[in-house]
Amino acid sequence: MAQARTKALGRKEPRESALANGVSPARAESRAWGRFALFSECLLTGVWIAIASLGVVTCPAAFAAGCRHLRRGTAHEAGGLREFAADFRAALRGGWLAGLVGWVLAAMVWVDVQAAGAGLPGGPLVGSVGLAALIGLAVTGMRAAATWTPGAGWRALLTDAGRRTVRDPAGSFLLVAGLAVVALSGWFVAPLAVPVLGAVAAAALAVETRYRHHR
C-alpha cells in the first residue's frame, strides 16, 4: 500500500510536469496543438499539390504554390485554398515550361536507363549515372520550387537550385529520402502518396531554411 502511494505521489500529471519545467499548461497545450495543426496542413497541402499536378507540366508550379502556402503557415500569415490557387496561377506563367523541359529530360534519361539495362557493354554504369541524374533533376526542381516567390524567374531559380543541390548533399539526401517515402507509400497504398507530398514540400522548405542558416 505504501509502495503504491509512493508511486502515485511520484507520478506527475501533464499539467504538473509542465509547471515543473517552467512552462504553463496553456502554453504546452498550444505548442502541441500547433504541431498537430501544421501536420494536418501538410497533409491537406499534399492533396492540393496532387490535384494541381494533374496537368503533368504543372507539377513545378503546384509544388511551388504548396511550399509558399506552408511558408505562410509557419510565418503565422493567413492563407487558404484561394491564396494557393492564386500562387499556382502565378507560378504557372513560367512554371509550365520548366515542367515541360523537366519531363522531356526525365524521359530522355529514363530511355537511356532502359537501354543500358538491355545488356549493352557498360550498361550498369550508364544506368547508375542516368538514375543519379534523374534523381538530381527531381531534387533540383523541388529546391527551386521551395524558394519560388511571385515574379521570380524559373530559369534563375533552377540554376541556383542546381548549385545548392551539389553544395548541400545532406539536404539533397533528405529530399531523396522524401521522394522514397512517397514512392513506397504509393507502392503499398496508392492514396497515401497524395498527402505525403505535403510533407515533402515541408521538408523542402526545411532544407532551404537550413542551407541559408549554415552558409
Give the pLDDT of residue 82.
93
Q: Summarize the confidence of residues 40-48 as an average pLDDT.
A: 90
Give CA separation, 20 vs 8, 14, 27, 82, 161, in Å.
17, 10, 13, 43, 46
Whole-number Å distance between alpha carbons of 114 and 26: 57
User: Mean pLDDT of all residues in the chain?
Assistant: 82
**Better-predicted residue by pLDDT, 26 or 175:** 175
Give the pLDDT of residue 121.
67
Which residue in this structure is represented by grid cell 497504398? 189
Q: What percent of the chain has pLDDT over 90?
A: 47
3-state secondary structure of 76: coil
Per residue in 125-164, pLDDT (tens digit) is 777 888 888 899 999 999 999 999 998 999 999 999 999 9
* Entry pTM: 0.80
Give the pLDDT of residue 130.
80
Give the pLDDT of residue 32.
52
Give the pLDDT of residue 77.
80
For the chain, the first-to-last Cα distance in angstroms comes to 60
**Better-predicted residue by pLDDT, 149 or 30:** 149
Per residue in 73-105, pLDDT (tens digit) is 887 787 789 999 999 999 999 899 999 999 998
Residue 108 clears pLDDT 90, i.e. is over it:
no
